[in-house]
Structure 1
Amino acid sequence: MEGAMTEPGKEMTHLDARGRLRMVDVSGKERTAREARAEATVEVSPETLTRISEGTIAKGNVYEAARIAGIMAAKRTWELIPLCHPLQVTGVEIEFSADPARNEIRILSRVKTLDRTGVEMEALVAAAHAGLTIYDMCKAVDRGIVIRDIRLLYKSGGKSGTFERA
């Protein structure tokens, strides 16, 4: 069954011959080790960044709440994104780095599996959801928060091989 073409030699695998959406059948694929890393950036006011660093946000520890939210989101990506397969996620890491000179928090997610399809969406959802949680934790003191630059940094495993953002 062939779908619509995006680039020469690449099919839109989620479309059937009539252009209808479908979930790709991965049952014939081998389970392989796969990993993906993604990032998101959260812009906050200088005061908010200071309060996060000092642990004085009223809702609690912003980074730990965002870390748990990102981990939970990675595990539930298949429920949030149509046509994603439920995967056996074997590891999720969420790291934060604050840049006071730019009033930014960089979120890095890393997701691993031993499965038939990749974890790119899980890594992206983890980074995005961690950013949304930072917003939720801090919105009472900073309504101007911006979440931006959610993007895949790296993926390995599977037939398509390795991708690394330059």
Structure 2
Amino acid sequence: MTGLTHLNNKGEASMVDVSHKQLTHRLAMAVGYVAMQPDTLARICAGMLPKGDVFAVARVAGIQAAKQCASLVPLCHPLMLSDIQVAFKVDADNVRVEIQATCKVTGQTGVEMEALTAVSVAALTLFDMCKAIDPAMQIGGIRVITKSGGKSGHWQAREDHD
């Protein structure tokens, strides 16, 4: 065995067998941001974009993405998510929109990938809706900031990141 959980004893990619794990309540929260020009941020806040309400569309895209994570990431388990929340915060000081996704499940495996996928697709959707006026936007800082449940219990990211 290689020590990597997504490889079998022959070194081949393999979905991890979680059938022996106990059902526990699991939660993961991920964050990221889309940096942009000040005028773009002002137009988002004023609802003055030709494609409509950026936050509403990006929120639905993030929720849908979390539900489709196992279809997008080959070795992820399909999960019956019990809650998905996608939130946005305007950070005027850094001229960006911060995105936070929280996913919950009672299951045998964690929901970090679902939360990361929600943030990623919400960011991509925000980019898509604004690219005509600001093609130089940057997506960044996507990471898990907290997770809980399962054998490893609670984990919190350090504050010294982006």
Distance 1:102 1:15 in 2: 41
Match 1:128 to one of 98, 120, 123: 120
**Which stretch of structure 1 is more off in the superposition, 98-107 or 66-75?**
98-107
> What is the alpha-carbon distance in structure 2 between the residues aligned to residue 100 and residue 156 of structure 1?
31
Q: What runs of 5+ residues in structure 2 fail to find an aligned partner? A: none
Name stretches of at least 5 consecutive residues in structure 1 with no aligned partner.
Answer: 5-10
- Greater Cα shift, 93-102 or 60-69: 93-102
Q: TM-score, normalised by structure 1?
A: 0.93
Give every structure 1 segment of 4 or more consecutive aligned residues whose post-TM-superposition deviation is greater than 2 Å.
none
| Structure 2 residue aligned with 1:108 | 100
Q: Pairwise CA RMSD of aligned residues?
A: 0.8
Q: CA deviation at 1:127?
A: 0.5
1:114 Cα deviation from its structure 2 partner: 0.5
Q: State the AA in 2 paired with 1:129.
A: V
AA paired with 2:102? R
Q: Match of 1:95, SS?
A: strand
- Partners of 1:99 and 1:115 in 2: CA distance: 35
Cα shift readout 1:107-159 (whole Å, capped 9, x = no counterpart): 01100001110000000000111000000000111100100010000000011
Q: Secondary structure at the match of 1:59?
A: coil
Q: How many residues end up aligned between the 2 structures?
A: 158
How far residue 96 of structure 1 moved from its aligned partner, in angstroms, is 0.6
Query: Counterparts of 2:105 and 2:49 in 1: how far apart (Å)?
Result: 34
| TM-score, normalising length: structure 2 | 0.95
